Amino acid sequence: MSNWIGRKVNGLALLDARLDAHVGSIAKRERALVTNPAKRVVFTVAQTVARTVAATRAHLGASLAQLLTMLALGAFGAFGALSSLSAQASSPRDASKSAATAMTATAAQAATADASTQTAFTLHGEWRQGRLIFGHTNPQARVVFNGRTLTLTPHGDFVLGLDRDAPADAELRVTPPGAAEIVQHYAVAAQQWDVQRIDGLPPAQVNPPPETAARIAREQTLLAAAHASDTPLDDFLQKPQWPARGRVSGIFGSQRILNGTPKAAHYGVDVAVPIGTPVHAALGGVVSLAEPDLYFTGGTLVIDHGHGVSSIMVHLSKLLVKVGDSVKQGEVVAASGMTGRATGPHLHFGVYWFDQHIDPQTLLPPMPSSAAVTTKTIGRR
Domain extent listing, the chain: 2-88, 119-187, 195-362
3-state helix, strand, coil in the chain (%, to 5): 35, 25, 35
Question: Using CA atoms, how far apart are residues 367 and 74, in angstroms rounded to an integer?
Answer: 71
Read off the pLDDT of residues 20-51 as tens digits, 9 standing for 90 and up. Answer: 444 444 444 444 444 555 555 555 655 555 55
The two counts, helices (H) then strands (E), for the chain are: 6, 21
Residue pair 283/235 in contact (Cβ under 8 Å)? The answer is yes
Residue pair 124/133 in contact (Cβ under 8 Å)? The answer is yes
Sites in the chain below the pLDDT cut of 50: 1-34, 53-54, 56-70, 72-73, 75-76, 78-92, 95-96, 99, 102-103, 106, 109-113, 373, 375, 380-381
The CATH fold of domain 119-187: Immunoglobulin-like (2.60.40)
Question: Beta 195-198 vs 255-258: how paired, if at all?
Answer: parallel
50 Cβ neighbours under 8 A, 6+ residues apart: 19, 22, 23, 26, 72, 75, 76
Residue pair 173/158 in contact (Cβ under 8 Å)? The answer is no
DSSP code, position 334: E
Please tell me the predicted confidence (pLDDT) of residue 380.
Answer: 47
- Nearest 5°: the CA angle 208, 214, 220 is 85
Instruction: Write the secondary structure of 296-333 as one string of H (helix), E (strand) and C (coil).
Output: CCEEEEEEEEECCEEEEEEEECEECCCCCCEECCCCEE
Please tell me the predicted confidence (pLDDT) of residue 256.
Answer: 83
CATH of the domain spanning 195-362: 2.70.70.10
Please tell me the predicted confidence (pLDDT) of residue 264.
Answer: 86
In 3D space, the residue among 212, 166, 197 whose CA is nearest the CA of residue 358 turns out to be 166
Please measure the distance between the N-terminal and C-terminal CA atoms of the chain and give it in whole angstroms: 108
Please tell me the predicted confidence (pLDDT) of residue 100.
Answer: 52
